[in-house]
């Protein structure tokens, strides 16, 4: 047996690919238009096409907007048109995502062998590779394979669009994709019929490409380590604290967790509200994959749970259709990556529209202090780390940066924070220079203090221990609103803010997490205000969290 291997994501197949394969499969091996000579070649006619569908375990991103089962159906339709016309066989193998690796070609070959129970071992002696991606071609050439370069063999002025270019064109055209003559001519009939039979797919492609918050990998930011972030947000102790904060305010029925991350908070909700319908909304492809894994493991028991990939700024639900909307640590991200107050006002208005009478929005998030512009003196321990280390040293590796930050004194870590906070957004024009941390250093009664706005001090306190996700956290603002600000904006959106002085834990409130105060602040930092005579008076740490409960009446 001799094989023709076509590795790729196979988002679509093109008319050029069909014509090309029909041509080369009719030719003797020795007469094929190889890119380079010298490879060991099969001495038998090619009698089977192997489609290696790479990144088969990824979807929900511009890089991979189409789920594997749809891609596999499309490839099978395409393959049958080619293989049946020539009397050759074909098979499809899903290859998981291996990241950006110089060993990608070797991994693909080993995966094919493993998935076929060792029956299909592709070697330069029995296989020719068809590929038009120079980086991937180089990998297979290094392994000794003969390469047919597909589209790359055409002169640049006549080179057809690559599959990813056609996907972009589908996204640009939106609902009009199927009536575009150029696109219909470029797509293979198999891919055109696939998208006609699965009309949700081009809609998803268009949505992913137009979303301004997502990068090509389906994430909010390239600096976020999702494994670390998930543990920080979704470890059992953190989930229990969050759920305890919101549990008394939940109205059963249709419950939505907007910005659900890996779905961890929906697990106790499913346990306590088994007759409700639960919906998780998440924008990042990485977390959606983790949500689907929870479904596979039956983490939610017998409760109905569904996950959608959506931008929270879109109209997601019908008016008056939701009983409880939960926003856990999501609103500050809307502020940070959007247009601050304008974005949140739009978001809250849409949440009000989607809520039923008697339904609620529950927001649990970070919070800023009252009198945020007041000047305070922040003492930071300057003897709890390596005082000789340069706090502003540059690192390109996140792990090395985290190790460096951990070695610094708290005072050194503040200096690093003051340099890094919002600097990227200011450089890009997304924040004003006035939003940066401004401070001066003073020595008072023999102690060194940082003198700055209370808001900036609160930002440092809330962020100083996020070492593994430092670069990502430096993009986000935590202390932009006080408890009073939260209440006024929720009321402006039409919600009745629930507060119960007799049962404060069932309604809206702001508090300082005692664990954070005891484990992250004590002995590390102290806050002082100046009295009228210029002396320093120690003040309480600002609140760390807010819980807002708004009801539609």
Supply the Cα-derived Rg of the chain in whole angstroms: 28
Residue 35 pLDDT exceeds 80: no
- The mean per-residue pLDDT over the stretch 232-253 comes to 88
- The mean per-residue pLDDT over the stretch 99-104 comes to 82
Q: How confident is the model at residue 227 (pLDDT cuts 50, 70, 90)?
A: low
**Residue 288, pLDDT score:** 87
Domain boundaries, the chain: 3-210, 215-354, 367-553
Residue 79 pLDDT exceeds 50: yes
146 touches 34 (CB < 8 A): yes
**Residue 220, pLDDT score:** 47
- The mean per-residue pLDDT over the stretch 287-293 comes to 88
Q: Which CATH architecture describes the domain 3-210?
A: 3-Layer(aba) Sandwich (3.40)
Identify which has the larger pLDDT, 232 or 446.
Answer: 446
Share of the chain above pLDDT 90, in %: 75
d(CA 298, CA 175): 36
Residue 224 pLDDT exceeds 50: no
Share of the chain above pLDDT 70, in %: 95
Per-residue model confidence as pLDDT tens digits over 509-526: 999 999 999 999 999 999
**Residue 174, pLDDT score:** 92
**Residue 517, pLDDT score:** 96
* Fold: same for 3-210 and 215-354: yes
**Residue 502, pLDDT score:** 83
Q: How confident is the model at residue 232 (pLDDT cuts 50, 70, 90)?
A: low
Structure tokens at 161: 């669009």
* DSSP assignments along 18-50, one per residue: HHHHHHHHTS-GGGS--SSS-S---SS---EEE
Q: Give the pairing type, strands 322-328 and 355-366.
A: parallel
**Residue 213, pLDDT score:** 56
73 touches 194 (CB < 8 A): yes
Residues 6+ positions from 485 with CB-CB distance below 8 Å: 368
Q: Does domain 215-354 have CATH number 3.40.920.10?
A: no
Q: How confident is the model at residue 217 (pLDDT cuts 50, 70, 90)?
A: very low
Identify which has the larger pLDDT, 129 or 57.
Answer: 129
Residue 448 pLDDT exceeds 80: yes
- Determine the 3-state secondary structure of 183 from DSSP: helix
DSSP letter at 158? G
Q: Give the pairing type, strands 3-8 and 127-130.
A: parallel
Residue with tokens 């006549």: 158
State the first-to-last Cα distance of the chain, in angstroms, to the nearest integer: 72
Structure tokens at 154: 């055409």
CA 144, distance to chain mean position in Å, is 37
Identify which has the larger pLDDT, 84 or 133.
Answer: 133
- The mean per-residue pLDDT over the stretch 227-231 comes to 52
Q: Report the mean per-residue pLDDT for the chain.
A: 91
């Amino acid at each position: 047996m001799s094989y023709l291997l076509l590795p790729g994501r196979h988002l679509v197949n093109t008319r050029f690919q069909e014509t090309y394969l029909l041509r080369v499969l009719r030719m003797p091996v020795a007469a094929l238009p190889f890119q380079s000579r010298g490879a060991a070649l099969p001495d038998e006619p090619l009698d089977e096409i192997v489609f290696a569908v790479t990144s088969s375990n990824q979807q929900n991103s511009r890089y991979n907007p189409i789920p594997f089962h749809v891609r596999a159906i499309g490839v099978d339709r395409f393959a049958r048109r080619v293989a049946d016309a020539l009397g050759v066989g074909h098979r499809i193998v899903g290859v998981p995502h291996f990241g950006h690796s110089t060993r990608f070609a070797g991994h693909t070959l080993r995966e094919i062998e493993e998935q076929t129970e060792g029956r299909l071992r592709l070697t330069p002696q029995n296989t020719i590779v068809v590929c038009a991606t120079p980086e991937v071609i180089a990998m297979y050439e290094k392994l000794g394979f003969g390469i047919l370069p597909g589209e790359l063999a055409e002169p640049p002025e006549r080179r057809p669009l690559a599959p990813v270019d056609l996907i972009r064109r589908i996204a640009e055209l939106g609902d009009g994709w199927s009536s575009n003559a150029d696109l219909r001519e470029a797509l293979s009939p198999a891919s055109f019929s696939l998208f006609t039979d699965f009309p949700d797919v081009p809609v998803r492609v268009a949505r992913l490409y137009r979303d301004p918050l997502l990068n090509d990998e389906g994430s909010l930011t390239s600096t976020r380590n999702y494994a670390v972030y998930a543990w920080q947000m979704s470890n059992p102790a953190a989930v229990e604290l969050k759920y305890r904060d919101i549990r008394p305010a939940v109205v059963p029925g249709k419950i939505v967790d907007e910005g659900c991350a890996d779905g961890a908070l929906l697990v106790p909700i499913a346990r306590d509200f088994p007759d409700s319908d639960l919906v998780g909304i998440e924008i990042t492809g990485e977390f959606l994959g983790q949500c689907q894994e929870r479904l596979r493991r039956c983490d939610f028991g017998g409760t109905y749970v569904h996950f959608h990939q959506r931008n929270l700024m879109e109209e997601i639900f019908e008016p008056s259709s939701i009983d409880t909307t939960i926003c856990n640590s999501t609103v500050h991200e809307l502020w940070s990556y959007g247009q601050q107050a304008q974005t949140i006002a739009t978001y809250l208005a849409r949440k009000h529209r989607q809520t039923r009478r008697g339904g609620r929005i529950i927001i649990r998030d970070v919070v800023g202090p009252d009198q945020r512009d007041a000047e305070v003196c922040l003492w930071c321990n300057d003897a709890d780390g390596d005082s000789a280390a340069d706090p502003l040293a540059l690192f390109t590796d996140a792990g090395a940066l985290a190790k460096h930050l951990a070695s610094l004194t708290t005072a050194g870590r503040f200096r690093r924070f003051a340099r890094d906070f919002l600097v990227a957004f200011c450089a890009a024009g997304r924040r004003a220079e006035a939003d940066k941390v401004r401070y001066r250093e003073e020595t008072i009664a023999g102690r060194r203090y940082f003198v700055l706005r209370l808001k900036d001090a609160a930002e440092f306190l809330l962020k100083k221990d996020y070492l593994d996700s430092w670069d990502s956290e430096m993009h986000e603002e935590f202390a932009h609103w006080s408890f009073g600000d939260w209440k006024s904006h929720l009321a402006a959106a039409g919600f009745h803010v629930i507060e119960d002085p007799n049962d404060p834990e069932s309604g809206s409130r702001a508090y300082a997490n005692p664990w954070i105060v005891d484990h992250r602040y004590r002995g590390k930092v102290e806050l002082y205000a100046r009295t009228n005579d210029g002396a320093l008076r120690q003040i309480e740490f600002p609140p760390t969290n807010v819980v807002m409960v708004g009801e539609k009446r």
